[in-house]
Amino acid sequence: MSKPTTPFLVGIDLGTTHTALTYVRAPEADNIPAPLDWAIPQLSGPGQLESWPLLPSAIYIPSEQERGRGIHGPDWMPREAPIVGRFALEYGRANPSRLISSAKSWLCHPGIDRTSPVLPWGAPEGIERISPVEAVHWILRHLRHAWDHTMAAEDSAWELARQEVLITVPASFDAVARQLTVEAARAAGLPDIKLLEEPQAAFYAWLAQEGDRWREQVAVGERILICDIGGGTTDLTLVEARDIDGQLELERIAVGDHLLLGGDNMDLALAYAVQADLEQQQNIRLNQLQRTALQHACRQAKEQFFADPSMERATLTLLGSGSGVIGGTRTYELARTTVEAIILEGFFPLTAPEELPVPGLGLGLQELGLPFASDPAISRHLAQFLASVEDPSGRVAQTGALSAVLFNGGVFNAVTLRRRILDLLAHWRASQSVAPDRPPVRSLDEARTDLAVARGATYFGLVRHGSGIRIRAGVGRTYYLGVQAAAPAVPGLPPRRKAVSIIPFGTEEETCVRVREPEFGLLVGRPASFELYSSTIRRSDPPGTILEAGDEWDALELTAPIQAVLAPSALHPAGTVVPVHLECTPTAVGTLDLQCVDREGSGRWTLEFDLRARKES
């Protein structure tokens, strides 16, 4: 591995609720420096610039009148820029129609055009809107300008665009969201970034924290669950320690589906409980603006409870509406026991290992918005994930092979929630025939779960240059290409389809997978459809595996259909079906490049799956 060529290696955790940045000076020798947390400059009020380790991933779009009153971003941001960070969140509580939160969740929403101006979602007519890509771009642009203003003021070589920058994304992000993240970074002036999955980054942070001691805590054959619950998402990943050529190495073996379920849901549940109590006990009814402000207040109280185990009560301030709905400002005392009861029993109940998520019975007409998980019980989603990995039937969570849990995300700042996950796993084991002498699932402690992902991204920058321990990982899905079957046509029925495996689960980025058998016929010079499917459940299909339509397709998801006319040639005129084999490469940004190679070597056709072309509405 080569030495870094930039002054710094920078890791950015682009979180749903908060964004963090850590960095290291590029090492001169083979040492492994510890990542440094950067206090991010941001506004705390009009013209009041302060610095904190976390930048709220909140964006406020001020009106022209507000800009004229001094409500705008720091002087080093462009005049037209929205406000990003703490002041955006605080000021936006009074005017939520101009506040954008959870931009990252919108970036991975397949049901909308993520490049169209749709945020703030549901904003009234006359409010300026921006796209999810643009929203993420403004968060990253704030980081770039803040860094350049403070770190590179005296040396342009230290500008953020000239550093090696690694940005984290959820492991379950589809290729569209990954590519759009790269585009947002480029628009923000970061032309060459690398992506890293958040659960891996969290594990890298633990490795950086433990140093050489990690080998004393993990043994060959042990499986470690990375349980990552942030503000808007839940990510589950399984890592196994393996003996490879006499060396203890780590390999990712499973990745869960993308779940829009996290701290935001808990804030909303708390706000509903408080609102119900106000209505029933005090006959106070809240309007929409007050309900939004109440949710923000509940989030702040929840974080205070999580950060301070000795805190028993939090005071919520409820502002009047100005129309007599609440006769002036009131306060509400929220008890720790209430918070823990709602969150523990609502999101982390002690379920049975066979209790899987309950699908919601949706109405035929639904409000457009984020595709939140219909079942809020994270316990059941965890059971489904472990069942998909260990149980052939996929119906019962199996914990016998599980040895440890690494917790990540701001939610797990609460010791109570970490204990509940461990209690849940112990509860499942007690109901199964696990060897009684097997030790209980233990916790791998992380120093700061809210900063771990950024620290791990920076550490991974060192790993890329030959320092530290690398986790063997690759694509988190198996990919398949749709193939029209060679079968007689039947009136009234569409042509039969099959699916061929082209990229196995775990294939490393930039690794070319060749499928030479079976051979396929490629239509050139005529319009044709190419269908890419994926599965997080089928993990053992080698390249070339053929799946027949029917039950075998139940685990497949149509990922990226495209229409194309492949160029004919003198040897292969239009309408010719050319015998080809396939060469497929997953790229560093999550896209898939497919090469169709003529059997005789006289032609090669490239299909770059622009996954953004999939139907999103």
pLDDT tens per residue, range 134-159: 999 999 999 999 999 999 999 999 99
The per-residue pLDDT for 588 is 56
Q: Is 301 a domain residue?
A: no
Is residue 353 within 8 A of residue 428, CB to CB? The reply is: yes
Q: Characterize the bridge pairing of strands 48-52 and 55-56.
A: unpaired
Cis peptide, bond prior to residue 543, ω within 30 of zero:
no
For residue 507, the model assigns a pLDDT of 84
Domain-located, residue 497: yes
Q: Which of 165, 196, 227 is the last residue of a domain?
A: 196
Per-residue pLDDT tens digits for 570-583? 888 999 999 999 99
**Mean pLDDT over residues 555-566, rounded?**
82
pLDDT digits 0-9 by tens, 17-37: 899 999 999 876 667 888 999
The dihedral region occupied by 328, where left means phi > 0, alpha psi between -120 and 50, and beta the remainder, is: left
Please check whether residue 263 is in contact with residue 305, taking contact to mean a CB–CB distance below 8 angstroms: no
Residue 130 belongs to a domain with what CATH number? Answer: 3.30.420.40
Bridge-based pairing state of the strands 497-503 and 546-548? antiparallel
- In the chain, pLDDT over 90 holds for what percent of residues? 38
What is the number of domains present in the chain?
2
Q: Tens of pLDDT along 319-377?
A: 665 444 444 677 889 999 999 899 999 999 999 999 999 876 554 544 445 667 889 99
How much is the average pLDDT of 539-544? 89
> Burial of 63 by CB count in 10 Å (0-12 exposed, 13-18 middle, 19+ buried)?
middle
Q: What is the mean pLDDT of residues 378-397?
A: 84
Phi then psi for residue 286, to 5 deg, are -100, 145
Show which of 196, 229, 256 is a domain's final residue: 196
**Distance spanning both ends of the chain, measured CA to CA:** 44
Distance (Å, whole) CA 483 – CA 580: 13
Residue whose token pair is 């939520």: 96
The tokens describing 231, both together, are 């503000």
Q: For residue 583, list its beta bridge partners.
A: 514, 595
pLDDT digits (tens, 9 = 90+) for 151-192: 999 999 999 999 999 999 987 677 778 889 999 999 999 998
pLDDT of res. 489:
58
| Cross-strand bridge partners of residue 48 | 45
Going 474 to 478 to 479 to 480, the CA torsion angle's sign is: positive
Where among 174, 196, 218 does a domain terminate?
196
For residue 342, the model assigns a pLDDT of 93
Query: Which among 216, 231, 240 is positioned nearest to 104, based on CA atoms?
Result: 231
Mean pLDDT of the chain: 85
The predicted pLDDT at position 331 comes to: 82
Which of left, alpha, beta for 506 (phi over 0: left; psi -120 to 50: alpha)? left
User: Is 0.85 topped by the overall pTM?
Assistant: no
pLDDT at site 93 = 76
Domain presence at residue 219: no
Task: Report which of 138, 169, 151 is spatially closest to residue 6, judged by C-alpha positions.
Answer: 151
Answer yes or no: is 155 within a domain: yes
Mean pLDDT of 534-548: 87
Q: What is the pLDDT of residues 464-490, one digit of tens each?
A: 887 877 777 667 788 999 998 876 656
Q: Per the structure block, which two tokens stand in for 207?
A: 């490795």
CATH number at residue 514: 2.60.34
Q: For residue 58, give its domain range.
A: 8-196
Q: Is residue 42 domain-resident? A: yes
Q: Is residue 561 part of a domain?
A: yes
Is the residue at 471 inside a domain? no
Within-domain flag for 598: yes
- Whether residue 518 is preceded by a cis peptide bond, meaning omega within 30 degrees of 0, is yes
- Please name every residue paired with 598 in a beta bridge, in sequence order, or none if there are none: 580
